[in-house]
Amino acid sequence: MEIGIALVFIGAAITATLGFAGSAIGMGFAGQAAAGVVGEKPNLFGKMLLMQALPGSQGIYGLVGAFLILSFSGVLGATEALNISTTVGMQYLFAGLPIGIAGLISGIYQGIVAAAGVSLIAKDESNMGRAIVLSVMVETWAIFGVLISFILLISIV
């Protein structure tokens, strides 16, 4: 019983931290490029900030995933000891992996594309929409990770 709860905690922790790590690395890439552009064109700060924020979504999805795991498992808001089997605990752990792993990898690659988008905007401000779309294409896979994790969570028996 105790192992089951521990697995739920591990699942929530992995889901959140992999997403956070992906976002941190991705935002780092985009931020470096953005800082270079702002040095030359300070009036583009707002647009650069938005481009840097784009790879932050994976961290948010990780946070959502962790909360969903804790909520579905009953850990969140529990007022008495929970009875979660090891098998069910493992299910929660694996259910979080799609968000976590997809978040980590897509966060990094979205950051790389966002950094390239930053250059695109630096050349011509009107490319903002195109730069956002190119970057967000990578995020699609993190969203699918959310979807699969959600389906797995509601399928846990």
Partner 1 sequence: MQKVRLSVYTADVDTALNIIQRAGALEFTATTITDTKASKVTFPYADLLPRVQHAVQFLSPYAKKRSLWRTLRDGSQEEISENDLAGRMKNMDVILPLVTDFERLQVEFVEINEKLRLQEEQHRLLSTWKELPIKLSQLETATTKTLLVFRDPRGETESLKLSLEKVLATLPGVITEVSDSAVALTIAKGSETKAAVEALVLAVNADIVIPPQGVEIPDIEFAAVSQALAATKGELGLLYDQAEHFALTHLNQLQIVGEILSWQKDRLSAIGDAASTEYTVMFDGWLNKGKKAAIEAEFVKKDVAAVFAELELVGDEQPPVDIENNSFFRPFEVVTRLYGMPGYKDLDPTVFLAAFFFLFFGLSLTDVGYGLFLMTVSLIVLTLFKVSAAIRLFAKLLLLVGFSTVLVGALFGGYLGVDPELLPDALKAIQLFDPIGNPLPVFYLALGLGVFQVMVGMLVKVYSEYKQGRFVTGVLDQGPWFIMFCLGILYLAISLGYTSILAAGQVISLIYVTVALIVLSAGRHGDTIFAKIKDSLSALYSSIGYFSDILSYSRLLALGLATTALAFAVNMIAGMVFEKGSYISYFLAALVLIVGHLFTLAVNTLGAFIHSARLQFVEFFGKFITGTGREFNPLSRTEKHVTVRDE
> Contact residues for partner 1 (CB under 8 A)?
46-47, 49-50, 53-54, 56-57, 60-61, 63-64, 67-68, 71, 76-77, 125-130, 132-133, 136, 139-140, 143-144, 146-147
Closest distance to partner 1 from the beta carbon of 70 (Å): 8
Distance CA 30, CA 113 (A): 8
Q: Which is nearer to partner 1, 116 or 143 (CB)?
A: 143
The span from the CA of 24 to the CA of 28, in Å, is 6
The amino acid occupying position 64 is V
CB of 126 to partner 1, least distance (A): 5
Minimum CB distance to partner 1 smaller for 87 or for 102: 102
For residue 58, what are its two tokens?
A: 């994976």
Nearer residue to partner 1 within complex by CB, 116 or 148: 148
Give just the sign of the alpha carbon dihedral 99, 105, 111, 114: negative
Nearer of residues 86 and 143 to partner 1, judged by Cβ: 143
Distance of CA 111 to the CA centre of its chain: 12
In the complex, minimum distance from the CB of residue 88 to partner 1, in angstroms, rounded to a whole number: 18
Q: Which of 92, 96, 91, 73 is nearest to 18 (CA)?
A: 96
The answer to whether residues 93 and 8 touch, using CB atoms and an 8 Å cutoff, is: yes
Q: Which is nearer to partner 1, 2 or 101 (CB)?
A: 101
Length of the chain: 157
> CB of residue 3 vs partner 1: minimum separation in angstroms?
25
Smallest gap from Cβ 154 to partner 1, in A, equals 10
